Chains A and B, each alone.
Chain A
Amino acid sequence: MPVAVRELELDLDAFEGPFDLLLSLVLREELPLEEVDLAEIVIAFAGHLQAKGELDLDACGEFLVLISALLELKARAMFPEEEAELSELEPEAAAEELARRLAEYRRAKEAANWLRERLDERRDIFFRLGPAPLAPKAERKLAPQEPLELAAALRGLAVEPPEPSTAHMALRFPPVSRFLDRWRAILRRRARFDFDQEVAGLSRVEVAVAFLALLELCKQDEIAIAQAGSFAPIRISRADAERTLSWTAHSA
């Protein structure tokens, strides 16, 4: 099975993806070649070849052509003025780097072999694995408590909550007109009255409707409402009586 050089997957610092894409990006000058570590590509290709397990000469040839073109491009980009010197320096440094990396990889392989032998020696060794049957002793975070006190505290919470009141659903609103008639009747007899006294003993709803009736009368200019201050008694007087009073005050 031939190695598809152009499909070689690369994972470099500057680039990740197929070799083919790297080539097009470099040729279109969208990826500065100075940032691409070409030695890594060589190592990746070598690893790829090794993974395949057989030597594909066509693929190797294609790779050599491509990588040497890249090397030349990179060299020219890095040393535009020093081409003469480069021809002597670059291969030396490259060879040094290649040797260093091959040595590093060789060590990893040797270590892997050593581990493989180790594993074979341990083939007959079984030990217990899995989640800990016992957890390491944890710090006790809560203050110590008396069980009876805890029970008493819980009992207070364990009572049935009170039934929610549905009383408001049965509320009947008395007609405003009833209080309109009532206030007018009182004012026919008396010049003024005290609201709180008149509504004493009525339900909250009735008091509210009675107050609405007052506002209605006030709007129609039938009465005057006076209150000395917040929460002070509300005094109601006939509108004409109020006028009379002010006249009196003026005439005094």
Chain B
Amino acid sequence: MDRTLRLIPTESTPAAELARTIEALLVVASQPLPLEELASAAEVDPSQVEQALEVLAERFAEGHSGIVLEHVAGGWAFRASAAAAEACLRLFDKPAEKGLSQAALETVAIVAYLGPVSRPEIARIRGVNVDGVVAGLAERGLIAESGRDDEFGAIRYRTTQLFERVFGLESLTALPRVDDLGTDVAQIRERLEAVAEKRPA
């Protein structure tokens, strides 16, 4: 029994022990764990957890391991390596994002940018009734109820942690800036006028 299998680091420095503790917490968690939660569970300083996470990120990286550490939805979580996607797909479905329609994507985008937002407000932007789409997104767990409209009492919705996870966002601030999206009012105005001018008199 002289030859120790060296796949798993067995050093017992405090840093290595902390890395193992963080690893264990991430295995047990069912959703991404924020830095502060990891620190309070391990009873160490957040900066120490950061260091441990660096060690783990290297160990659990694409190409190194079947398990990959990622910073997502405001915390740290393990996921499967992309290299194993085909095998995963043979066993598992992705119910949260499978078959999301264009209407659903537009609606979830509006909720992500404007949330908490009520159905009438979404409908005003999309110009159609959104009751069914909103119900579907809530069922998938991508959006959730978040209080009520002050004025009319309509239920408001926000995106969930699962939404950020499915779309691989560290947080909602990872969404592109509104100004970077689409054309601005003046441009649309110009286009409307251009169409109006082409109209036969």
Contact = CB atoms under 8 A, between A and B. Distances in A.
Q: Which of A95, A110, A131 has the most CB of B within 10 A?
A: A110
Interface stretch (B11-19, B44-52, B107-115): B107-115
Contacts of B97: 119
Indicate the size class of the contact surface on chain B: 35 or more
A111 B115 CA distance: 14
Interface string A9-47: 101010000000000000000000000000010011111
A114 interface: yes
Nearest to A131: B30
A72 B129 CA distance: 26
A25 B114 CA distance: 34
Interface residues of A, number: 48
B188 A126 contact: no
A108 B114 CA distance: 10
A217 B143 CA distance: 88
B61 interface: no
Contacts of A123: 85
Interface string A115-129: 110110111111111
A122 B28 CA distance: 23
B179 to A, nearest CB: 9
A103 B185 contact: yes
B189 A128 contact: no
Contact of A126 (B85, B105, B124): B85
Contacts, number: 129
B192 A111 contact: no
A48 interface: yes
Given A11-B123, A48-B128, A103-B183, A111 B113 contact: yes
Nearest to A106: B182
B105 A116 contact: yes
A76 interface: no
Interface in B30-64: 30-31
A44 B185 CA distance: 19
Nearest to A40: B124
Contacts of A107: 113, 178, 181-182
Interface of B: 28-31, 77-80, 82, 84-85, 88-89, 92, 94, 96-97, 100, 102, 105-106, 108-110, 112-113, 120, 123-129, 162, 165-169, 175-176, 178, 181-185, 188-189, 192
Interface of A: 9, 11, 13, 40, 43-48, 51, 95-96, 98-116, 118-119, 121-134
Per CB-CB distance, the 8 closest pairs between chain A and chain B, nearest first, are: A47-B127, A124-B85, A111-B109, A43-B127, A132-B30, A127-B79, A112-B105, A124-B82
